[in-house]
Structure 1
């Protein structure tokens, strides 16, 4: 189960990085992140 948590963290980091690379998508992504 612990490994699953680590995997999710990596996905979250990638999502944040992608959002940072694409400011235009940051507005829509902001709603998803809360």
Structure 2
């Protein structure tokens, strides 16, 4: 039995979105706290 649905692409897309959100979070954190 083979399941041929595009899971890796979706996972990669979610990972990219998560990475972008993480970058935004880090950016706001560094802007809020320059000493860190």
Q: Indicate the TM-score class for this superposition, using the shorter chain for normalisation.
A: 0.5 to 0.7
1:20 is the counterpart of 2:11: no
TM-score by length of 2: 0.62
Larger Rg: 2
How many equivalent pairs are there?
A: 25
Q: TM-score, normalising length from structure 1? A: 0.65
Structure 2 residue runs of 5 or longer lacking an equivalent are 1-11
Please report the RMSD computed on the Cα atoms of aligned residues, expressed in angstroms.
0.6
The aligned residue for residue 29 of structure 1 is: none
Which consecutive residues of structure 1, in runs of 5 or more, have no partner in the other structure? 26-34
Runs of 4+ that moved beyond 3 A:
none
